[in-house]
Amino acid sequence: MITFDQKLVEFLNNWTVGEAEWPVGNLILCAIALTLSVILVGAVGIEREFRGRSAGLRTHLLVGVGSTILMIISVYGFPAIFGGHRDVARLAAQVVTGVGFLGAGAIMHRSSGVKGLTTAGTIWIAMAIGIACGSFNFIIAICGTLLIILVLTLFKKVEKNITRGWPWITLVAPSDEPILGKIIQLSKAYDCQIHGISTSAVEGFDDRVEVTFQAYFSSGDQRLTEFISELEKATKAKSIHLLSHH
């Protein structure tokens, strides 16, 4: 099946001007690809910027537009005179690997869990949109961007509703207290399941330990406030924090 963007690419690739047959159509096609990349990737970057993420508008634009440029170079930058055959996907494959490392840099592991996974994913998506634009698959790029915006906005509310009964709890308590035992004891009393528990020393305090875990209440989070209050008393916590979504 031939799509609109494929017909457009075919028309512009064959559009020349003057007796010298200057390939003006190719230049226009590249300009369309770069402009569309800025608009689509910019939409994703604005959403990340609005939420105050470490990788915002500029980072996503750099990745997206850079991927578009590299893809255009793959298509037009290595004419057949260099060996008679060219693999336009080879450079794109290297872009996928390189941006994967860049996205990994946005992921941070802390005692309270892993941060930045969504941002790393959007950086990778910015690359994918850029490659789609650079390879002149404009319809795929537009549809993909609309779907990603939908996931980042509407699905975030759905995710919060699903995980509302799975709060993350972080507490700092004296290290000489049997914290884990008391957490397990209280979880049984409140019909609560404990997941992802981790402990770490508190910097600057040799006598304190930080414990982070996720609590699942089978009957909902109606007893969460009471559970937190009892947990604070039982562990003699110096501080306790609740994250509704991690």
Task: Look up the CATH number of the domain holding residue 215.
Answer: 3.30.70.260
- Are residues 200 and 142 both part of a single domain? no
- Are residues 158 and 172 both part of a single domain? no
User: How much is the pTM?
Assistant: 0.65
- Are residues 137 and 213 both part of a single domain? no
Residue 155 has a pLDDT of 76
Residue 221 has a pLDDT of 62
Q: Which residues of 151-162 are buried (b: 16+ CB within 10 A; e: fewer)?
A: bbeeeeeeeeee
Residue 197 has a pLDDT of 82
- Are residues 212 and 180 both part of a single domain? yes
Which residue, of 144, 162, 180, is where some domain finishes? 162
Q: Where is 246: in which H helix or E strand?
A: none
- Are residues 59 and 128 both part of a single domain? yes
- Are residues 144 and 185 both part of a single domain? no
Which residue, of 162, 197, 220, is where some domain finishes? 162
Residue 245 has a pLDDT of 44
Residue 49 has a pLDDT of 82
> What is the C-alpha end-to-end distance of the chain, expressed in Å?
44
Which residue, of 138, 162, 186, is where some domain finishes? 162
- Are residues 219 and 200 both part of a single domain? yes
- Are residues 183 and 158 both part of a single domain? no
- Are residues 17 and 127 both part of a single domain? yes
d(CA 43, CA 150) in angstroms, rounded, equals 11
Residue 81 has a pLDDT of 53
Which residue range is the domain that position 70 belongs to?
4-162
Please give the tally of structural domains in the chain: 2
Q: Where is 207: in which H helix or E strand?
A: strand 205-217
- Are residues 147 and 41 both part of a single domain? yes
Residue 232 has a pLDDT of 85
Q: What is the pLDDT of residues 58-114, one digit of tens each?
A: 889 999 999 999 998 888 876 655 555 666 777 777 888 778 777 676 666 554 455
- Are residues 9 and 101 both part of a single domain? yes
Q: Give the chain's residues under pLDDT 50.
A: 111-112, 245-246
- Are residues 175 and 143 both part of a single domain? no
Tokens of 97: 């690997």
Cα Rg of the chain (Å, integer): 26
